[in-house]
Amino acid sequence: MIAGALFYIRKPARAAKAEKTADVGKQILFRYVIYGLIAFSLLGSSGYWYWNWQDGNQIVDVTIVSPNIASSEVYQVRKRDITNNMLTTVDGISIRLSNQERVIIAKSKKQ
């Protein structure tokens, strides 16, 4: 790849030739198509980023059921703060989960 780039750089410049109007039009059209694709991809990426951020900030009710004590606790947690063995509530409380506890996630009724 580097050798190809050096070959291209050292290649003597071609003699300038007169461009036809049709060729100039095609180049301008090609440039607009490329700019359109870039704008579309940036818009799509920013839309996906916003959707992901909004979904992560959604507050859900997490019910933790412990089989040892036969009790359950309900916490409000943002979706992005739920991991495999730990969650952090809206109030900032970090809760570590054991392998035996059952976790139920539902949409929050109050927001």
Domain map (residue ranges) of the chain: 20-57, 59-96
Q: What is the pTM of this model?
A: 0.61
The predicted pLDDT at position 100 comes to: 86
The predicted pLDDT at position 16 comes to: 55
Summarize pLDDT for 56-103 with one digit per residue, the tens: 999 999 999 988 888 888 999 999 999 989 999 999 999 999 888 888
Of 10-14, 50-54, 96-100, 103-107, the least confident: 10-14
The closest of 97, 37, 100 to 62, measured between CA atoms, is 97
Alpha-carbon span 74 to 72, nearest angstrom: 7
Alpha-carbon span 102 to 61, nearest angstrom: 14
Q: Is 39 helix (H, G, I), strand (E, B) or coil?
A: helix
**Kind plus residue range of the DSSP H or E element containing 36:** helix 21-56
* Average predicted confidence (pLDDT) for the chain: 86
The predicted pLDDT at position 11 comes to: 65
